[in-house]
A and B are shown apart, each in its own frame.
Chain A
Amino acid sequence: MARIYVHPLPVRIWHWINAFGFVAMIVTGFQIRYIGLIDLMSFRTAVVVHEWIGFVLIANFFIWLIFYLFTDKIRVYHPELNPMKHFRASFRQAMFYGYGIFKGDPNPHHVSVYEKFNSMQSMSYQVIMLLLVPLQFWTGVLLWDVKRFSGMIDVLGGVRVVDTAHVLIFIFFSGFIFMHIYLATLGHTRMAHIKSMITGYEEVEDTHGDGK
């Protein structure tokens, strides 16, 4: 079994801070929104923790952004500009997860240093990292100090609009996080992908790999 280095240190640091941070944001987010139904901590504690972790995650986002902007590893995010090619690859990947995997078919995506994401991952991570995460940070910062950013909030349509956008993205991440963890267990062993995000090395069998 070959080992290839697909997750450089800055990416691993970013990933695990992000992972634990997002879990904490979701938990405190639930507590803030559903006080009375959930009683893990006081509302105020939840708000303060939510704010602090939010700022840590914003700073952490820049580790990811700067690393990819200033290294050739950005190629892992290069989009497939041919829509037909992208659609075919995505369909193949969806068929694998939806049917082939049950029969024991090999993963159609082969992991390499510059192609660590399958086409479905590549598309969804770009939407998440370049649209949803920044939007969530932005709306979060606006809600952190509504008065200070009142001008911008008014331009966006008011505090209720900003909050609704923040909650909609929160809803997406609350569902996504379960899917993400599950997909991470679909390597050649249940822990293979998770270990690789700790060591940086992905184990690849006979040039066939499995993305998460």
Chain B
Amino acid sequence: MASSRSISTATKAKFRVDLAIAARLALVVLVLTLTSLGARAAGGALSQLDQQCLACHSAKGLEMKLANGDQLPLQVDGAAFGKSVHNKLGCAVCHANTSFENHPPVKTKIAGSREYSLAMNKICESCHAPVFKQYEGSIHATLFRDGNSYAPVCTDCHSPHAVMAKATYDATSGAPCSKCHGSIFEAYAGSVHGKATLACSNCHGAHDVSAATKEGQLKNACLGCHQDAQASHQKWLPNAKQHFDSVSCPACHSPTAKRKVNLRLYDNVAQQAVAEKAGVPQFESRARSADAKGAGLDAMALHSLLREFNREGIDNKTTLRGRLEVSDGVDAHKLTPSAQAIRDCAKCHQQGADPFQSVTVSIVGPDGRPVRYGAKPEVLNSIISVDSLSGFYAIGGTRIKLLDWLLALAVLGGIGAPLGHMTVRWLFKRYAKKISGQEDS
């Protein structure tokens, strides 16, 4: 009985202590929050609480070793944070799990810096839900889900302690895209768009960035601003609409770019590019088995690859649609003023033209980016390709060689037959004269 009474007394005492701690903590948080809001309201400076945090976290080189050995930098530039839009929130809103009790968070071990960034992503989502949803549909998020350790999460693009208002963004900096896409940004900075200080997001979107090679994606971005482009091209370019379908904008507007032909698998019934089935990729294995020598698909191999895709179901459901593209992203960004764009049809419409020397066959990969397989340039000029490349033909450039021989034969025959006939007539006439001359004599 005595024992139970003493336990009860101890429990009550502990409860009183806990209550007192909780009340003090609540009071501290309340006071600091109120004072920080008051301080911010006064002039945008750091709140007292934030200043308290920064008392330690502004220390140069402050970092923490994580479970996997990563070093998590803990230093925060107070001046930058003071100017950032997150200053209004203060440290405690994002770092709510860091309390007086567990700070430094010794109870929950952080596995690694990547894991930490991911955990912090959830914090971003709690305020920026619509933007986060856009991000989740982006190529960046897809790459991340596929295990790409370089795929960016929120904090890779937005330095959380220095995130600035949109209005202050300097497009010429290329940040944050240039951090990963440096060579592309370099090319872009010298382009007509770069000089006009357009931001990457003007064409690619920001959080909803999709694979640049996604069908129609960038062309629509171009036409979004250049709304009269179709009409102005129609004034001088024969079959302008077809060119818009079969030629990417940079193929002409990035005149120094190396060009190539991309033969895309196309579903005629669904009227869209064929996409690789998630989890059961078939394209590469089928292409490899069609290309026994591994030297690139030739016309016969291309034909058998298509047959594989049409083995089940409707005949000719899957076809190939060709498109002239630039070889890489760097070239795609070297856009020039329209006066310098390629207007000389002969650049493409002649045998041996540069764009037809490099050919790939592609399918839309699970992440939206094309999966490519090389083909021999001869596929474009083979009579066998009349069937397999029925949807792609560039006059002159991809002409069928067999027809050239037939034409030569027809012209030679057309000229040779009358000449031969005339010669025989002349010989007969001469012979007849000789005979009659002999008879006369």
Give A30 to B239 CA distance when docked, in angstroms: 19
Closest approach, in angstroms, between the C-beta of B261 and any C-beta of chain A? 13
Q: In the bound complex, do residue B349 and residue A176 qualify as a contact, i.e. CB atoms below 8 Å apart?
A: no
Q: Which residues of A contact B421 (CB under 8 A)?
A: 97, 182
A-B contacts besides A44-B345, A175-B411, 19 pairs, CB < 8 Å: A33-B399, A103-B432, A144-B239, A146-B241, A147-B245, A154-B391, A158-B390, A158-B391, A159-B393, A161-B386, A163-B393, A167-B407, A170-B407, A178-B411, A178-B415, A178-B417, A179-B418, A182-B417, A182-B418
Q: Within the complex, which residue of B386, B391, B411, B424 is in contact with A174, where a contact is CB–CB below 8 Å?
A: B411
Q: In the bound complex, do residue A168 and residue B403 qualify as a contact, i.e. CB atoms below 8 Å apart?
A: yes
Q: Which residues of B contact A174 (CB under 8 A)?
A: 407, 410-411, 414
Q: Which residues of B contact A144 (CB under 8 A)?
A: 239
What would 28 A/B residue contacts be, using CB atoms closer than 8 Å?
A34-B396, A35-B346, A36-B346, A43-B349, A51-B238, A102-B425, A103-B428, A146-B241, A146-B242, A147-B239, A158-B319, A159-B390, A159-B392, A160-B393, A164-B400, A168-B406, A171-B406, A174-B411, A174-B414, A175-B409, A175-B413, A175-B414, A176-B414, A178-B411, A178-B415, A178-B417, A179-B417, A181-B418
Give A122 to B93 CA distance when docked, in angstroms: 94
Q: In the bound complex, do residue A42 and residue B242 qualify as a contact, i.e. CB atoms below 8 Å apart?
A: no
Main secondary structure of the interface of B (DSSP, over half): helix
A151-195 to B contact mask, C-beta < 8 Å, 1/0: 000100111110110011011101111110110000000000000
Q: In the bound complex, do residue A159 and residue B391 qualify as a contact, i.e. CB atoms below 8 Å apart?
A: yes
Q: Is B351 at the interface (CB under 8 A from chain A)?
A: yes
Closest approach, in angstroms, between the C-beta of A107 and any C-beta of chain B? 14
Q: Is A69 at the interface (CB under 8 A from chain B)?
A: no
Q: Which residues of B contact A154 (CB under 8 A)?
A: 268, 391
Closest to A44 in B: B345
Q: Which residues of A contact B327 (CB under 8 A)?
A: none
Query: Which 9 A/B pairs are nearest by Cβ-Cβ distance?
Result: A158-B390, A175-B410, A178-B414, A182-B418, A175-B414, A147-B241, A43-B345, A36-B350, A102-B428
Which positions 380-404 of chain B face chain A at CB distance < 8 Å? 385-387, 389-393, 395-396, 399-400, 403
Closest approach, in angstroms, between the C-beta of B205 and any C-beta of chain A? 28
Q: Which residues of A contact B403 (CB under 8 A)?
A: 164, 167-168, 171
Q: Which residues of B contact A148 (CB under 8 A)?
A: 241
Give A190 to B378 CA distance when docked, in angstroms: 48
Q: Which residues of B contact A48 (CB under 8 A)?
A: 238
Give A178 to B292 CA distance when docked, in angstroms: 47
Q: Is A24 at the interface (CB under 8 A from chain B)?
A: no
Give A154 to B389 CA distance when docked, in angstroms: 12
Give A175 to B412 CA distance when docked, in angstroms: 8
Among B236, B268, B385, B421, chain A packs the most CB atoms within 10 A around the CB of: B421
B contact residues, total (Cβ < 8 Å): 43
Which positions 8-40 of chain A face chain B at CB distance < 8 Å? 32-37
Q: Is A83 at the interface (CB under 8 A from chain B)?
A: no
Q: Within the complex, which residue of A104, A157, A168 is in contact with B432, where a contact is CB–CB below 8 Å?
A: A104
Q: In the bound complex, do residue B414 and residue A43 qualify as a contact, i.e. CB atoms below 8 Å apart?
A: no
With A51-B238, A164-B386 as contacts: A171 and B410 at CB distance below 8 Å: yes
Closest approach, in angstroms, between the C-beta of A39 and any C-beta of chain B? 10
Q: In the bound complex, do residue A36 and residue B351 qualify as a contact, i.e. CB atoms below 8 Å apart?
A: yes
Q: In the bound complex, do residue B239 and residue A145 qualify as a contact, i.e. CB atoms below 8 Å apart?
A: yes
Closest approach, in angstroms, between the C-beta of A176 and any C-beta of chain B? 7
Closest to A97 in B: B421
Closest approach, in angstroms, between the C-beta of A105 and any C-beta of chain B? 11
Q: In the bound complex, do residue B390 and residue A160 qualify as a contact, i.e. CB atoms below 8 Å apart?
A: yes
Give A8 to B415 CA distance when docked, in angstroms: 30
Q: Which residues of B contact A159 (CB under 8 A)?
A: 390-393
Q: Which residues of A contact B395 (CB under 8 A)?
A: 32-33, 163
Closest approach, in angstroms, between the C-beta of B273 and any C-beta of chain A? 16
Q: Is A47 at the interface (CB under 8 A from chain B)?
A: yes
Give A181 to B410 CA distance when docked, in angstroms: 15
Closest approach, in angstroms, between the C-beta of A174 and any C-beta of chain B? 5
Closest approach, in angstroms, between the C-beta of B101 and any C-beta of chain A? 69
Closest approach, in angstroms, between the C-beta of B196 and any C-beta of chain A? 30
Give A33 to B411 CA distance when docked, in angstroms: 15
Closest approach, in angstroms, between the C-beta of B8 and any C-beta of chain A? 88
Q: Which residues of B contact A36 (CB under 8 A)?
A: 346, 350-352, 396
Q: Within the complex, which residue of A32, A157, A178 is in contact with B390, where a contact is CB–CB below 8 Å?
A: A157
Q: In the bound complex, do residue B407 and residue A171 qualify as a contact, i.e. CB atoms below 8 Å apart?
A: yes
Give A105 to B179 CA distance when docked, in angstroms: 90
Give A57 to B385 CA distance when docked, in angstroms: 31
Q: Within the complex, which residue of B351, B390, B414 is in contact with A177, where a contact is CB–CB below 8 Å?
A: B414
Closest to B347 in A: A43
Give A174 to B411 CA distance when docked, in angstroms: 6
Closest approach, in angstroms, between the C-beta of B387 and any C-beta of chain A? 8
Q: Which residues of A contact B411 (CB under 8 A)?
A: 174-175, 178
Q: Which residues of A contact B422 (CB under 8 A)?
A: 182
Q: In the bound complex, do residue A160 and residue B414 qualify as a contact, i.e. CB atoms below 8 Å apart?
A: no
Q: Which residues of B contact A103 (CB under 8 A)?
A: 428, 432
Q: Which residues of A contact B415 (CB under 8 A)?
A: 178
Q: Is A101 at the interface (CB under 8 A from chain B)?
A: yes
Closest approach, in angstroms, between the C-beta of B223 and any C-beta of chain A? 15
Which positions 51-87 of chain A face chain B at CB distance < 8 Å? 51
B226-260 to A contact mask, C-beta < 8 Å, 1/0: 00000000001011011001000000000000000
